[in-house]
């Protein structure tokens, strides 16, 4: 049965199920308990499961990420919420030098079954310090997996998949999506990590997006029908491991690729995707690969400037028309 839900509510359903079904699962982070989470994702869970399972932490990302790593090493399955992705920079040592490396450095004797959730992305007038899109930074690190749910269904089913993993999984939730409405399959099963999805089939151009960029890309694809362009939309869903097979299969069909990434263009994850296409699918292309990325500036506060700094449906449409030789 399809259940109508917001992205936020779907995440809460997944969290409640995890806490209910596995006594090893605990949720910890800033304001996740009494306040119900900075974005209300964990609202009501503290009352339902108590302080031992849903725990507020001190304002120290390094400390509570370290606590999560220790809990995982001790046999628990912690879900650690970092309020916004910029705050995770304070815990990079714990993430890169401990969580991601312990299995390798212990010769397989240790594992860190930990899920780290964090809000990401701009578009909410929170200015330069709270509008980062750093998913690509984390996808650079071996030893962790990076998920970017862009639909309500993935918001529901990616967390249970992440909890099955023996090593750290990072779940990037674009904060603009929390109120987004959609449906999920109530009888569904954990999402397949490492598998992209074709959200819209098409024949003329491949649009590649993830997370918060997906709704804008789907909107652009619909607009393009007025220009007699049939766009295929590929939702990456997982940045590490990357499903190159689905990407290349789509490009092989359409012969053109446009990649949408809200992060800064230089060193963006879009650059990694473009390189994979160039390396493994160059002779399938009939036009250069194009990237639509965030402007290379600290995110402005003013709404009109923030909108200009982020990929928008109209900028995606214009890029497609360029690659089709129509602009």
Question: Catalytic residue positions?
Answer: 61, 130
How far is it, in rounded angstroms, from Cα 277 to Cα 205?
Answer: 14
Contact (CB, 8 A) for 25 and 19: yes
Closest CA to 131 of 307, 305, 315, 298: 298
Closest CA to 243 of 192, 190, 167: 192
How far is it, in rounded angstroms, from Cα 148 to Cα 283?
Answer: 29
Contact (CB, 8 A) for 205 and 229: yes
Closest CA to 34 of 56, 13, 12: 56
Q: Going along the chain, which residue ranges are E strands?
A: 2-6, 25-29, 54-56, 77-84, 115-120, 145-147, 169-174, 181-185, 197-200, 205-209, 231-235, 238-240, 257-264, 290-294
One DSSP character per residue, 81-111 reads: EEEEGGGGGGGHIIIIIIITTHHHHTTTS--
Contact (CB, 8 A) for 217 and 205: no
Enumerate helices (H) and strands (E) in the chain, giving the number of each: 12, 14
């Amino acid at each position: 049965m399809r259940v109508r839900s917001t992205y936020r509510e779907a995440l809460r359903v997944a969290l409640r199920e995890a806490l209910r079904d596995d006594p090893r699962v605990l949720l910890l982070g800033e304001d996740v308990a009494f306040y119900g989470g900075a974005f209300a994702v964990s609202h009501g869970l503290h009352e339902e499961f108590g302080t031992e399972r849903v725990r507020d932490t001190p304002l120290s990302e390094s400390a509570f990420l370290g606590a999560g790593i220790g809990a995982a090493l001790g046999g628990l399955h912690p879900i650690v919420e970092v309020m916004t992705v910029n705050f995770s920079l304070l815990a990079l040592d714990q993430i890169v030098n401990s969580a991601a490396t312990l299995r390798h450095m212990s010769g397989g004797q240790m594992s860190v079954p930990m899920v780290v959730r964090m809000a990401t992305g701009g578009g909410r007038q929170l200015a330069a310090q709270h509008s980062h899109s750093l998913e690509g930074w984390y996808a650079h690190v071996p030893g962790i997996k990076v998920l970017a749910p862009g639909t309500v269904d993935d918001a529901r089913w990616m967390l249970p998949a992440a909890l099955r993993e023996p090593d750290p999984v990072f779940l990037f939730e674009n904060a603009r999506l929390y109120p987004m409405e959609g449906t999920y399959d109530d009888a569904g099963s954990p999402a397949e990590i490492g598998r992209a999805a074709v959200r819209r089939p098409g024949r003329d151009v491949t649009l590649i997006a993830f997370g918060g960029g997906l709704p804008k890309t789907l909107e652009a694809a619909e607009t393009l029908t007025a220009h007699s362009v049939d766009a295929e939309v590929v939702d990456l869903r997982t940045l590490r491991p990357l499903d190159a097979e689905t990407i290349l299969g789509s490009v092989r069909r359409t012969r053109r690729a446009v990649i949408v990434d809200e992060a800064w263009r230089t060193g963006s994850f879009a650059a990694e995707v473009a390189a994979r296409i160039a390396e493994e699918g160059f002779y399938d292309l009939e036009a250069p690969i194009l990237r639509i990325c965030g402007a290379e500036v600290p995110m402005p506060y003013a709404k009109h400037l923030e909108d200009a700094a982020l990929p928008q449906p109209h900028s995606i449409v214009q890029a497609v028309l360029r690659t089709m030789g129509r602009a």
